[in-house]
Amino acid sequence: MFPNVGYVTGRLREARNVTGRLREVGRIHVKRVEEVSEPLREPGIITGYRHENCSVIQAVASLFNATNETVNFWTHFVASVYFAWLLVSLSTIMPLFEDPYLFPLTCYMIAACCYPLMSCLAHAFSCLSLTATHICFFIDYLAIAMYSWAVAYLYYSYCFPPNLMNSWFSQIYLPVAAVNAVLATLCASLSRFIIHPGFQKTLRVAAFVEPFVWDSFPLVVWLYTCDTSTESCGESRIYHLNQFFCVITASFFYGSHIPERLAPGCFDYVGHSHNILHIFSIMGTNEQMRAVLIDLKNRREGLEKENWLPTPMWALQATPSLLMCNIFLVLLLTYYLSKHMRSVHQTCPQNSSRQPLVTATIVPSSHTKDQ
Ligand SMILES: [Zn+2]
């Protein structure tokens, strides 16, 4: 009477098996701190660690499960989408790609979209393997370094103090910022090869604090010397100060590992220092954007009178060259890392996938999620 019943039930059984297998592949078993190898452990984080050698499907599935990377991913993913939406919206009301006066803003907006995007991808796929973790974070550092360059170009173009224009400082400001962007990628990446946790953290923080200080110097001078009653800084100053507050707060939590260090186990999934770093860094970028949009509009006439127009060369030649230079650096570090991991695998195959070599003086040492 029902000749195809056997066929249909067979297909249904197969479909059930396939979905069961997919569920099993995507299932995330979080681990406690004592179950993961030493370099993976974070101060004050007791549980919520992912497997050390996830598949791509497991890495993606983990973003929809509670792990200590879930909030890290979503905070920067949402921010990246938000900045991309801002870029598209601004491009509909401003000639971002045609007007050379706006090229520094265009470079900055693209960098502001890319650095949270690279960060969230690094957090998502840092569990694939130890080698993949290091490469992911090399790329993350590259994106932050390019962002630091874009900020220097932005401040030079719209927030430079009149008393420093055409001085020796203005001559070296952008070339030094470009060198800083390469050094930041290099130092932050090399910090992953250092065993000593204090030295590693110091080098990584210094790699980004130094460009921040250099980039911000002319802005601080301008905010200090400008006349708030008549100049653009009267309107933008509050947003610039908010941005400094956000960056200092983010750096404090990143460097101190507070609050999880004070209450171990209480902030494993939500509210740990890296989550706070992400949120404040995005808020800082947002405030910076608001401030500069005010300055570039209010100061345009005055800057044009001073003949302080950024040459398009910085956007069309210097920025792509700097990006290429940083990419070359990351490829070089990746080559060195792969070579090193291969030699570890040959000499110590049972440990190669789980533990970096910790007896050498300079080795890939950390599997941390830090930016
Ligand atoms: Zn991060």
Whether the predicted model's global pTM rises above the 0.85 cut: yes
* Nearest-5° Cα angle at 273, 181 to 219: 40
Work out the angle between the directed axes of helices 197-225 and 130-158 (0-180°, nearest 10).
10
Amino acid, single-letter form, for residue 334? T
pLDDT category of residue 371 using cuts at 50, 70 and 90: very low
Nearest to 154 by CA among 115, 110, 188, 90: 110
Lowest average pLDDT, out of 15-29, 170-184, 286-300, goes to 15-29
Domains observed in the chain: 43-337 (1.20.1070)
User: Residue 362 — pLDDT band, cuts 50, 70, 90?
Assistant: very low
pLDDT exceeds 80 at position 83 = yes
Q: How far does residue 352's CA lie from ligand 1's centre (Å)?
A: 25
Given pLDDT bands bounded at 50, 70 and 90, which one contains residue 195? confident
Q: Which structure tokens are listed for 127? A: 């569990």
Distance from the alpha carbon of residue 134 to the mean position of ligand 1, in angstroms: 13
Question: What's the average model confidence in pLDDT over 12-39?
Answer: 76
pLDDT at 6: 77
Average pLDDT over residues 108-112: 97
- Measured in Å, residue 76 CA sits from the centre of ligand 1 at 8
Residues 6+ positions from 269 with CB-CB distance below 8 Å: 48, 66, 67, 68, 70, 71
The confidence score (pLDDT) of residue 358 equals 34
Distance CA 261, CA 42 (A): 9
| 109 in Cβ contact with 32 (< 8 Å) | no
**Which segments within 167-261 are labelled E, that is strand?**
none
Q: What separation in Å is there between the alpha carbon of 140 and the centre of ligand 1?
A: 9
The Cα angle at residue 268 between residues 136 and 337, in degrees rounded to 5: 20
Provide the pLDDT for residue 228: 81
Task: Specify the 3-state DSSP secondary structure of 48.
Answer: strand
Q: How many angstroms is it from 143 CA to the middle of ligand 1?
A: 12
Q: How far is the CA of 296 from the centre of ligand 1 (A)?
A: 30
- The pLDDT value given to residue 324: 98
Q: 132 CA to middle of ligand 1, Å?
A: 15
Closest CA relative to residue 28, chosen from 44, 11, 48: 48
CA of 55 to the centre of ligand 1 (A): 21
Q: Which among 117, 76, 79, 109 has a CA at the least distance from the CA of 93?
A: 109
Ligand 1 centroid distance, CA of 297 (Å): 33
Q: Ligand 1 being an ion, which residues bring their Cβ within 5 A of it?
A: 119, 371
Phi, psi values for residue 32, rounded to 5°: -90, 165
Query: What is the overall mean pLDDT for the chain?
Result: 88
In the reported structure, the alpha carbon of residue 73 is separated from the centroid of ligand 1 by a whole-number distance in angstroms of: 8
CB-CB contact of 198 with 151 (8 Å) = no
Separation of 196 CA from ligand 1 center, angstroms? Answer: 20
Q: How remote is the CA of residue 122 from the centroid of ligand 1, in Å? A: 8
Please measure the distance between the N-terminal and C-terminal CA atoms of the chain and give it in whole angstroms: 66
CA of 141 to the centre of ligand 1 (A): 10
CA nearest to 107, candidates 117, 116, 97, 119: 97
Report how far Cα 51 is from the mean position of its chain's Cα atoms: 23
- Any long-range contacts for 209-212 (C-beta under 8 Å, 24+ apart)? 209/251, 210/180, 210/183, 210/184, 211/145, 211/148, 211/149, 211/152, 211/177, 211/180, 211/181, 211/184, 212/148, 212/247
Give the distance (Å) from ligand 1 centre to CA of residue 81: 16
Rounded average pLDDT over 108-132: 94
CA 361 to centroid of ligand 1, rounded, Å? 26
The residue length of the chain stands at 371
> Is 278 annotated as belonging to a binding site?
yes
Given this model, what pLDDT does residue 355 score?
A: 41
Rounded to an integer, what distance in angstroms lies between the CA atom of residue 308 and that of residue 305?
Answer: 8
Measured in Å, residue 232 CA sits from the centre of ligand 1 at 34
Q: What b-and-e string marks burial along 186-212, b requiring 16 or more CB atoms within 10 Å of the CB?
A: bbbbbbbbbbeeeebbebbbebbeebb
149, pLDDT greater than 80: yes
